[in-house]
Homo-oligomer: A and B are copies of this chain.
């Protein structure tokens, strides 16, 4: 009875809060035609919708099909993977529109949050952080726990994002710090708090079957293909979006080759492991997130991708078993390898790239536009920006670990209906699975 109650009550709360706070912004409102005349905008095509909507849809696919299917690899947890992912993303994006709206889109003249396509993208981004965290606890928590995790995750996300982007004035277009570092350490901290010493990690349910691995590749590929849209979705119009897409495209391509190399090198008989191909191939997209909009240069993007493919795959081979055995962190999807390490690398790459920016490479106007050295920050210089970037990374880490431990405490309360150890990784705990359906 808890799940229906939470869904109905929270959704009702959303309706009330939306009623009080949320309206269309001037580009989505019927007054757009008057706004166009006032601002002397020549054409409807200048509406931000046409700059960002294709990217939004790609990001949307990453959130629901990408994350959802990536987690279907377990032999008997595909319903939970794709279904709970669906549920928490649908809730999270509403809560994110409110939380992020209060920080970024509040119109002080009438106290309303004005939303448009960019808010939808940001809400999807915010949700991404929580879905990453889901990867660490996949199969070990109930739907209600996931909803609680998402409620607090989105809240923490909105605050750290505001501090990193607005207070510290770090740039983070693709969210290496804000999304991936935060989401991954948030999830890992929760998983640490929820440690199950007697969990059956045998092949009985913890492994994959042939077709579940193919389903997971659907998730992998949609994440991989649309990552250029993810990293460019909210960058500056024009060259900003263009460059971010190119950098991400290249970083991801390089990651595939080094992932294959390391996977083959460290398996017996040189065989490839689907776990690596499904996950580590994406690390380059994570790591190029912050710097994607900078003049990272095509070869710079390749170098980032090259390194992350190696590090991420090695993480699956060595670090995940180590973390489980010695640090008591059970990380079902290996998000430490896919999001945490590449996210931190991305933050560092961003800091270095920013610190080494020069007017000769960027041009005078280009430097100002790219790093937004305007208004309060018009005296900023690249080297100091590099420091701010590094500070942003620290903020993301603190919020993630601190928030994760606090939320983990809440999730340990014995009221959430979490599964017994023997029922982990098993859809039958929460889903109607038809008789005989498992024998095909």
Contacts and interface: CB of A to CB of B under 8 A. Distances in A.
Contacts of A224: 64, 86
B302 A18 contact: yes
A14 B302 contact: yes
Interface of A: 1, 3-5, 7-8, 10-12, 14-16, 18-19, 22-24, 27-34, 36, 42-51, 53-54, 57-58, 60-61, 64-65, 68-69, 72, 75-76, 78-79, 82-83, 86-87, 90-91, 93-94, 97, 115-117, 120, 143, 203, 207-211, 213-215, 217-218, 221-222, 224-226, 228-229, 237-239, 241-243, 245-246, 249-250, 252-258, 260-262, 264-265, 267, 270-274, 277, 281, 295, 297-299, 302-303, 306, 361-363, 365-367, 369-370, 430-440
20 contacts: A4-B262, A4-B265, A11-B257, A14-B254, A27-B242, A30-B370, A32-B242, A42-B42, A47-B242, A53-B241, A61-B222, A64-B221, A69-B218, A75-B440, A83-B272, A90-B256, A91-B253, A143-B260, A218-B218, A440-B440
Contacts of A14: 254, 302
A7 B86 CA distance: 37
Contact of A295 (B8, B30, B211, B215): B30
Given A64-B221, A143-B260, A438-B440, 12 more contacts: A1-B270, A11-B254, A34-B365, A44-B237, A57-B226, A57-B228, A79-B274, A83-B272, A86-B224, A87-B260, A203-B436, A208-B434
Contact of A3 (B16, B237, B264): B264
A93 to B, nearest CB: 6
